[in-house]
Amino acid sequence: MKRLFVGLVFAAVGFAAPVAAQEWPTRQPIKVVVTLSPGSATDVLARLAFEQVSKQIGQTIIIENRPGAGQRIGAAAAARAEADGYTLLVNSSTHTVFPAMFTNLSFDVVRDFVALAPLASIPTVMVVPASRDWANLADFVKAAKAKPGSINYGSGGIGNSTHFAAERLRMAAGFDGAHVPFAGAPEAINEVVAGRVDFYFSPVPPALSLIREGKLKALTVSSARRSSVLPDVPTTVEAGYKDSGYEFWVGAFAPAKTPKPIVDRLAKELRASLDSAEVRGKFAAMGADPMPMSAAEFDDYVRKEVDLNIALVKTLGIKPEADTAK
């Protein structure tokens, strides 16, 4: 009798995942946790992509904004969720910075999540005051080296992608400068426009109109490829600085133990959504560029980004803090 009971237990465990995968997504609406506030680029991309997925699979998809603690609150909530395909996460590339910046995270970005797809790359553009006579990045670097330590640069905070983009270029080009962290993009951009900050690596969307109006100069982008909305602006690598790029992206994830058939289906549906003409057009209007990768490729990319950020934080001498977010 005991042997029969044990056999039934193992059978139940063995069939749980396939049964869950077969019923998905009919049981209940799908919740997508977004780590930033409504209206942010991450939020808008998530809404556009998953609105199309909702149409494709015939299921309601709800966006739940969980901002706070530098995007860790939302990530922690998604990590604790049941791995059944009904709770997903959309986060920016800050996702891969957490292990470098915090010592006691309540979740592990590699072990607790499986990557589904990158939604888009949003290049960060190096903007400088329009009043400066720097025609290109070479002019800027020459001026920065001529007066060591005279340059200052803004960011959205220590460990933010805008901070790391600036540091990667600074180290590759070999100039010194003073880091000035701000609460976010609007504050940093305003200070560059006013001429009180020498440069800032801004996500393209909030800076684009100011660049087009001539209130800011765009010298370079930190992404691997040129921005589709700033095609004449070279990448940092094209400008001659090896190992200077830093990619800012938005991606979708699921809890790590989500059944593989569900993960595969989600990845497939997201790929179809991102390939649709409607979504591609809306992303392009925002300055969000395609970042085509399979789920496996994106998973590998995330792991490499984690290692890159850990090494960068050590090089910069940033001391990781205890994570107090719950």
Residue 88: φ, ψ to 5°: -125, 175
Q: Domains in the chain and their CATH numbers?
A: 28-122+248-316 (3.40.190.150), 124-221 (3.40.190.10)
- Inter-residue contact 244 to 88 (CB < 8 Å): no
Alpha-carbon distance of 45 to 251, in angstroms, equals 9
Collect the ranges in the chain with pLDDT lower than 70.
1-21, 326
- What pTM was estimated for this model as a whole? 0.87
The single residue listed with the structure tokens 């499986």 is 114
For 272-298, what is the HEC assignment? HHHHCHHHHHHHHHHCCECCCCCHHHH
Element (H, E) at 264: helix 260-275
Q: Which residues contact 314 (CB under 8 A, 6 or more apart)?
A: none
Report the pLDDT value the prediction gives residue 183, as an integer from 0 to 100: 81
Annotate 178-212 with b (16+ C-beta within 10 A) or e (fewer). Answer: eebbbeebeebbebbbeeebbbbbbbbbbbbebbe
Q: What amino acid is encoded at 203 in this protein?
A: P
Alpha-carbon distance of 169 to 173, in angstroms, equals 6
Report the pLDDT value the prediction gives residue 62, as an integer from 0 to 100: 98
**In terms of Cα–Cα distance, which of 102, 79, 96 is closest to 33?**
79
- Inter-residue contact 157 to 163 (CB < 8 Å): yes
Report the pLDDT value the prediction gives residue 11, as an integer from 0 to 100: 44
Ordered strands of the 87-92 beta sheet: 61-65, 30-34, 87-92, 249-255, 113-121
Q: Which residues contact 160 (CB under 8 A, 6 or more apart)?
A: 94, 97, 181
Alpha-carbon distance of 126 to 289, in angstroms, equals 17
Report the pLDDT value the prediction gives residue 2, as an integer from 0 to 100: 43
Pairing of strands 61-65, 152-155: unpaired
Q: How many residues does the chain have?
A: 326
